[in-house]
Amino acid sequence: MPSQHRYPAAVYRTDPRLRKRAQIAVHEVDSDLNSHIVAFLRWLVHDTDALPPRPSEPIPQPEPDIDSRAKTP
């Protein structure tokens, strides 16, 4: 079945922790990642001077998982 979306998907890769923080941030401003990425791209190419909104406070870095820390001998 062909895609029912107007445009084909664009794939980007980012650190999962950054993505999670970005999801929290867009939720706080009642938006979604796709809308924010599109708005940023429109700003980048000078289609607009308005950047998408962001939360008033920074989204904190998550604590590192014990399993993800480098193990030393």
* pLDDT of 66: 63
pLDDT average, residue stretch 45-55: 97
CA dihedral 6, 12, 17, 18 (to 10 degrees): -80
State yes or no: pLDDT of 70 exceeds 80. Answer: no
Q: What is the pTM of this model?
A: 0.76
* pLDDT of 62: 84
pLDDT average, residue stretch 39-61: 97
* pLDDT of 72: 54
Q: How far is CA 67 from CA 8, 15, 21, in A?
A: 37, 16, 20
- Cα 21 to its chain centre, rounded Å, is 7
For residue 50, the 8-state DSSP code is P
